[in-house]
Chains A and B, each alone.
Chain A
């Protein structure tokens, strides 16, 4: 009996009756503040690859050239929708939810530095890393197998029978050298720092 009274009191309340008779399920709309898959804005991409270097998910973002223009491509299903690429882009090419607007208002950004670490005990001085490095390729297009170079502007080269890193600061963190190394001797550390109120590079 107590339960019956309880249920009557619970379900004969005006808000409940109103909801029972007139409630409509709200349409399933993604709110504008949801951090969805990044979309492209109209800003031109400078293919600096910052978005690719910060992305935590393997194979989620690529920067491709199509008809002379570069633009990032998001692979859905790989993308975690974390929004780090949106924050990392210095130009504001990508947008997701309110991240881009907030970033401009708060002047927040990520600062990435890249460090090259070579295990000389494992390194065979084959020069694969130096040859595969895209920055090296730009500086010294003549660099061939062996990784020798007379150009002092390259990131790294094989000199005097040893692997030497000359311009670590030029590294863009793409890790191509890691993939090309037959002995896992070279590693690139991507060091990330969240900053506010600092002018972007």
Chain B
């Protein structure tokens, strides 16, 4: 069917607002966006192909490098998959330490996502404040795991390093600092009149649309879908985890959900530190043959690994599904059409927190 459009405007693949290359083609009439289309494929790496035929100690490092921002959850979901295949149990202390590291990683990922949004709407002050706070989370992670980005912390049957008392005290201090700082920035974001014009009522994804587009993670929770895979995780169940849901479905809600989840993550880490049982951090156990689908809640939504391994624990087949692909789809099909100004396209896209590197692997 022939559509009457003024002009089709391409954004990207190289765009100052985006961290990674993607191309959005917007059909517009005047300033109003009629429809949008996304083009991916600028950073395909073929990681799944490289993983085949390798044992866990090699695949682990490749899995982490699927996504630089949420590397811990890739590590965790892959290792939990291998544990499910081989029937390896994890000591309690290791299970809690995994949650601590995972939640710290979520904090830094959400702070980075909110930084990107503030940066995109040209509120650089708030953006840099958030980025500055993120360093605290990164420092905590470095103290526990020894590395900032690719931590390689979890192994089948446990974790690599224990949490020392000195590091625990430093972590508690960092959590207090982050809570106070993020609290202030969240209030700045919530009450900022100029932020509201770029965030409230822009890029609306209704609950029904989110359901049809299979939106996941904070994007879905900002549209009123109370789905979070942490609900199904045994350790999170012990911590009485409940997902955070908002109903507005606009840019504002997506960013606020992330702010609220940062507070929730801080509480979860505190609770883990409080409940942290004594005991070993590694239970041992070798990987064997089997096939499984392992799922986990990444900072951006549901992440799943299909893993098949041979008798020696080598990966024979692996398929990764990352959360961003659904959110990018929801963004281009439902959030972008109807946006009244072309200037809002970038901020709407960034508010869905797309991770292109995850998508294309």
Contacts and interface: CB of A to CB of B under 8 A. Distances in A.
B160 A108 contact: yes
Given A33-B146, A34-B142, A197 B280 contact: yes
A190 B145 CA distance: 25
A96 B161 CA distance: 13
A41 B157 CA distance: 29
Interface in B148-162: 150, 152, 155-158, 160-162
Nearest to A35: B146
A4 to B, nearest CB: 12
A117 interface: yes
Contact of B284 (A57, A113, A115, A194): A194
A191 B146 contact: no
Interface in A114-167: 115, 117
Interface hub of A96, A192, A194, A196 (most chain B Cβ within 10 A): A194
Contacts of B87: none
A194 B161 CA distance: 11
Given A56-B60, A196-B281, A191 B142 contact: no
Given A33-B146, A106-B281, A115-B312, 10 more contacts: A31-B142, A54-B57, A56-B57, A57-B61, A80-B61, A80-B150, A189-B312, A190-B57, A193-B285, A195-B284
Contacts of B161: 99, 102, 106
Contact of A108 (B142, B146, B282): B282
Contacts of B193: 2-3
A71 interface: no
A81 interface: yes
Contact of A102 (B60, B162, B194): B162
Interface string B286-297: 110000000000
Contacts of B281: 106, 108, 196
Interface in A68-113: 80-84, 87, 96-99, 102, 106, 108, 111, 113
B285 A191 contact: no
The size bracket of the interface on B is 35 or more
Given A80-B61, A106-B162, A193-B286, A117 B142 contact: no
Interface string A20-63: 00000000000101110000000000000000001011000000
A193 B284 contact: yes
Q: Interface size for chain A: under 10, 10 to 19, 20 to 34, or 35 or more residues?
A: 35 or more
A10 B313 CA distance: 56
A189 B143 contact: no
Counting chain A CB atoms within 10 Å of each CB, the highest count among B146, B150, B162, B284 belongs to B146
B31 interface: no
B12 interface: no
Contacts of A98: 146
Given A189-B314, A194-B155, A33 B57 contact: no
Of B280, B282, B313, most buried by chain A (CB within 10 Å of CB) is B282
Given A190-B55, A192-B57, A33 B150 contact: no
A56 B58 contact: yes
Contacts of B284: 111, 193-196, 198
B305 interface: no
Nearest to A56: B58
Given A34-B147, A102-B162, A191-B312, A196 B280 contact: yes
A80 B61 CA distance: 9
B55 A82 contact: no
B158 A196 contact: yes
A26 to B, nearest CB: 10
Contacts of A192: 55-57, 286
Nearest to A111: B284
A164 to B, nearest CB: 20
B357 to A, nearest CB: 17
Contacts of A10: 125, 188
Contact of A3 (B58, B61, B194, B313): B194
Contacts of B58: 56
Contacts of B194: 3
